Structure 1
């Protein structure tokens, strides 16, 4: 028997009734009809925690294949997973740029987690998910660029395979691909074992229909092989070898069926040895069944204990409140643009449009959940642009037991592997303890501190930061990171690298790299001393290239200080309104005296508008020409600020292509580094 971690990834299919009477339905169908998707998801999670690498390899291969095909077609890619189950592959594929994921499964029980908490990119659900005994009936007349399965066909006996391949082929639109991530290649079909009430090894090379090519990929995954089927105009069956998922559309080296059969012999030999052991071992099938039932029982016990802890939230809430610290005010960099700018009507919001519309898709972070405070404008923006799911809590009032329950149930429904708290408050402290008590060590809990040591003159900031380090030392938190560099000098409990914020993801048409000059500048900061508000406004309003200066805070002018440009106070802005104003500006100014990673700079960069800042130490990015151009060492020196603004505007007018390329290259490097830091820090 092979290790069960190498088998089942998505539920198996009930056969099309046209392929035979109901009595021919695989015995394993009842297994999947009666298996809860929540239970099976927990089984997969446990296997991964115990070192099973096959799942990650499958996800990487499918991600590469989808993105490569989307780039080749240069249009949105319609994808159907045949046997989608609880949505393991939906969780990351639906977040890919230009990929429209769809899922089909015959088991409603297995699909329940996916239907109840679909990924952000899987909307509207009723048009993207289908179930029923027959895929062709459920899906209707729709066809797809890629139809794929993962460990689905192995749960159907050999006599059903020709009919199933015919069904899959009908779902592939002309020129599309049928991709099977299934068992290792064998020359003949054989019964493998009784895991999940039946597993077979199928000879896919022998099963290629007339008029199709098979591109066979071996060695791309430890536990499975890749089979890519493509139609051609002839009446032959052709065979090619794949060396990588990126080459799935290419006609690589053609081989013969006989040579593939020779390649398949090692897997058959392995099966022969296993079969011999099974014949020699008395009660081997019974042992296999007991092992499988024990795995399910362990998971059900874990889920039952979790539900009991969830029911006890109300009783524990009072105890947690006694441990709470004084409510901290938002850090300077995270405060709302103006008092009352953010109105919170719900204690908890999940994947709100404001927090997902501009997020970067990243499959490897699809099971990461960010928890932030709805009122803290800057931190909410930083959280909203990052990959992963979003839970917004309130900081303005205590959370209720129902709020806590919703957070826990959301993490459960999403299959979260890691939670990152963006910012810290008494409410966040309660949620940290709740998630740790309910999930134990199955969920990685970390926190990102968005402040700096200059804010420690506020006692509450110092106390909050100290509490975070204590939680890490006690093992309640798995990690603490900062967006200000070299904060690990304070404590060994701090992640040594600076965690990078993401810019918003905007459509290409919203980027104005090469647009005509508007002769306007924007200073979108609060009017306070550490934001250096008057310095930014005064410099911008004195430049001959600037006729208007937009500000979002009240500005008191003085007749003794002449300003060339007019000052336009637009007041507090929503996110979309702010982005529109950025596109109406030639330059942004945020040369503050104390700063971490200003969101204004990232938002401007995403829209093709440079933002002047003070020095921000970001490692290798400090050497990039764009960062050198926009950062000012002497944040209090008006002449230095004026020279830097003039330099940016001159380059933009003189060499718009060079200016655009500089911003695009910087954005690409920043986003790649930001993803890698999150992967290392949060480890979802």
Structure 2
């Protein structure tokens, strides 16, 4: 975003004679073509850290607008951002379900971060990103359902606006929208300031072409207005008020141009007041340029310092591994039972399809990076469903200096603001030290412990938990959270709220809660006593009407056991195979004696298949009818498990619509709370 929240005037509007306008345009063009996208992204980050809330507001508004248009269209929405720059909006729109994002910019240096590290969903890059002096030529005749700009037109002199709007209109398909998130409403164009070699306030109502409707949204954003333009059939200009981007646009009562001029007076009044202040100060243009150069110098100094620290990573790694044992003490390797699969081809993977295909998307978490261990199946799944970028490291092999450099450079390229370590290991500890050394306090380092106090009989779990508290107290970690409720009673150093795992993001057509019963159940737990394996299998296989029970662990069938259903061992499943099996079943059973937030319960929920569990203690979520339906207080009671199983299967067969609505309501409630907790944890 090319944005300025200050208002300073260095010369009067009358100074913009044609020759001056051409000079201003050339200066502005040279500025953006010479500006590094990495540098500008850092400038935006600094403004956000200083309290600028405008960026988050714009991202939330555009997300809502795009989702609404996609739902109304009923097919993938083709979107083009005019002036995409380093990819602030691409970072979340490209991975939003149902949206095909495209970006155009005339500055290759500004686009470099986006090309080098495209967000999930933006591919192939050569077909989705365009650069050239003219957008119409660059996109090669393509048209789009929505074309939008954010603080781009303000950097073009008034003489260019009619031609630009005409070009943007040609990029919009019939029935499509042109959405401008630009300067607040003014009655006529004025030269605002010299920020980024020139900013203007443009009168978009006056500039609306014949044959277009303009819906003006004032007050939807703190520092900008929203202008949604759509072709009409009258070949005239019509004006309407845009009350919200969530609701259908109201065209029952048109506004007059004069009434819009009245609405524009506050912005014009603010312009004149600041103009007087700057003229009295007498240093408008010089002061603005000094301010901008100071901001840019600060950014470049920070980037230079990071590059120097990055060069010393190899030395730092040697230093860490040579530290005395008591100073660098880390937990021993966890039990082999924690691993689902220890076959890892690469030490480090970035945004792998396994970790992004089913991820939720939230623009507020687009600068979060999750670091997890590829071998730890459940934690990898929890990480993969959460919003943000993903880096998978190995837990079983030593990371090299090249691996560390790749992790650091990836975080730099992605513009990470928060790193969340999902789980802990000696390798994770080394990466924490590296990131802290390179980025200092510019990036927030957090860690999530996925265990519970019931697991403290494993030395690994107790030592890991204690070590994380020490790292939090020492300041290497900024925050530590748990997925088990009320763990903050163990230490005030822990995040007060439970970090909720999210279900995978599944397309509606892949859900099956309204499909006919299959007379099959699924028990995905390991075969050990605390997972209560035989209790789950016995109850499912002895239920009248149940024909098949799928298990992933070896099962010894005894003739003495009165089992009605066939028990089928499907063995280890990859993620897609697991999802396909869930869709073939009526219910999942995961009633264990000690549990946090079982991933199979969340994966079943996403596919419209209920999962029986023991008590999860999830606060207000436990009061939802769905949790009252599936949670079992007496996890060792075969009778209670059977009663719950009969309730779930009976409701699904008797009232599939009620069952489906219950699951959908709970899923939405869970996702909302999970995202909010992540926001508090990662970005306090």
Shorter-chain TM-score category? over 0.9
Post-superposition shift, 1:145? 1.4
Post-superposition shift, 1:342? 4.2
Contact map agreement 1:215 1:248 (CA 8 A) in 2:
no
Post-superposition shift, 1:656? 2.0
Distance 1:561 1:435, change over 3 A: same
- What does 1:171-190 correspond to in 2, within 5 Å? 171-190=171-190
With 97-106 and 262-271 compared, the bigger mean Cα shift is at 262-271
Contact map agreement 1:118 1:125 (CA 8 A) in 2:
yes
Post-superposition shift, 1:6? 5.3
What does residue 596 of structure 2 align with? 596
Post-superposition shift, 1:25? 4.6
Specify the SS of the correspondent of 1:468: helix
Contact map agreement 2:240 2:250 (CA 8 A) in 1:
no
Specify the SS of the correspondent of 2:456: helix
What does residue 15 of structure 2 align with? none
The answer to whether 1:70 aligns with 2:75 is: no
**Aligned equivalents of 1:144 and 1:515: distance in 2?**
36
What does residue 241 of structure 2 align with? 241
Deviations, residues 643-669 of structure 1 (Å, cap 9, x unaligned) = 222222222222222222222221121
Distance 1:252 1:70, change over 3 A: farther
**Aligned equivalents of 2:302 and 2:588: distance in 1?**
52
Contact map agreement 2:513 2:660 (CA 8 A) in 1:
yes
The answer to whether 1:414 aligns with 2:420 is: no
Moved over 6 A (4+): 21-24
Tell me how many residue pairs correspond in the alignment: 667
- What does 1:126-275 correspond to in 2, within 5 Å? 126-247=126-247, 249-251=249-251, 253-275=253-275
The answer to whether 1:554 aligns with 2:554 is: yes
What does residue 390 of structure 2 align with? 390
Q: Which runs of no fewer than 5 residues in structure 2 stay unpaired?
A: 9-20
**Aligned equivalents of 1:238 and 1:566: distance in 2?**
68
Q: CA RMSD in A?
A: 2.1
What does residue 12 of structure 2 align with? none
Specify the SS of the correspondent of 1:222: coil
What does residue 514 of structure 1 align with? 514
Post-superposition shift, 1:600? 1.1
What does residue 327 of structure 1 align with? 332
Specify the SS of the correspondent of 1:245: coil
Distance 1:660 1:425, change over 3 A: same
**Aligned equivalents of 2:623 and 2:268: distance in 1?**
56
**Aligned equivalents of 2:518 and 2:258: distance in 1?**
68
**Aligned equivalents of 2:30 and 2:504: distance in 1?**
46
Post-superposition shift, 1:475? 2.0
What does residue 14 of structure 1 align with? none
Post-superposition shift, 1:398? 1.5
With 220-229 and 98-107 compared, the bigger mean Cα shift is at 220-229
- What does 1:364-513 correspond to in 2, within 5 Å? 364-513=364-513
Contact map agreement 2:24 2:198 (CA 8 A) in 1:
no
What does residue 16 of structure 1 align with? none
- What does 1:287-306 correspond to in 2, within 5 Å? 287-306=287-306
Post-superposition shift, 1:147? 0.9
**Aligned equivalents of 1:83 and 1:663: distance in 2?**
41
**Aligned equivalents of 2:674 and 2:242: distance in 1?**
32
- What does 1:111-130 correspond to in 2, within 5 Å? 111-130=111-130
Post-superposition shift, 1:92? 1.6
Contact map agreement 2:215 2:241 (CA 8 A) in 1:
yes
With 666-675 and 237-246 compared, the bigger mean Cα shift is at 237-246
With 202-211 and 486-495 compared, the bigger mean Cα shift is at 202-211
Specify the SS of the correspondent of 2:668: helix
Contact map agreement 1:26 1:156 (CA 8 A) in 2:
no
Contact map agreement 1:179 1:227 (CA 8 A) in 2:
yes
Post-superposition shift, 1:52? 1.2
Specify the SS of the correspondent of 2:145: strand
Distance 1:3 1:573, change over 3 A: closer
Specify the SS of the correspondent of 1:38: helix
Post-superposition shift, 1:129? 0.8
**Aligned equivalents of 2:193 and 2:487: distance in 1?**
54
**Aligned equivalents of 1:442 and 1:252: distance in 2?**
50
**Aligned equivalents of 2:126 and 2:168: distance in 1?**
21
TM-score normalised to structure 1 length: 0.94
Contact map agreement 1:541 1:564 (CA 8 A) in 2:
yes
Contact map agreement 1:591 1:612 (CA 8 A) in 2:
yes
